[in-house]
Amino acid sequence: MTLLEFMRRSNGWTQVALANALGEGFTASAISLMETGRLRPSSKQAAQLSRLFARSADELLQPVGDRDASLSKEARS
């Protein structure tokens, strides 16, 4: 699971809801492919994702296991 998927689920959003919130250039299918690492977002898409989640696109596309310690620390803050 990528951080993108983790944060989407944490906000209670479906892939469709996230795609709709982000607007043009996003589909549920594209979100799914990004979450599984089979699609890299365009620079415009990366900027939109980064703004929405206040994280870099690189962070959002990393597997959550690589960030567990950091996420746990933030949750305690």
pLDDT tens-digit series, residues 27-64: 999 999 999 999 999 999 999 999 999 999 999 999 98
Alpha-carbon distance 33 to 77, whole Å?
Answer: 31
Main-chain dihedrals φ then ψ at residue 2, nearest 5 degrees: -85, 165
- Domain that includes residue 52, residue range: 3-76
Q: What sign for the dihedral angle of Cα 54, 59, 61, 65?
A: negative
pTM of the model: 0.81
Q: What pLDDT shows up at residue 76?
A: 43
pLDDT in tens, 32-42: 999 999 999 99
Number of domains in the chain: 1
Q: What pLDDT shows up at residue 29?
A: 98
Q: What pLDDT shows up at residue 65?
A: 79
Chain centroid, CA 12 distance in Å: 13
Percentage of the residues of the chain whose pLDDT score is greater than 90: 81
- What CATH number is attached to the domain comprising 33? 1.10.260
Alpha-carbon distance 65 to 52, whole Å?
Answer: 22
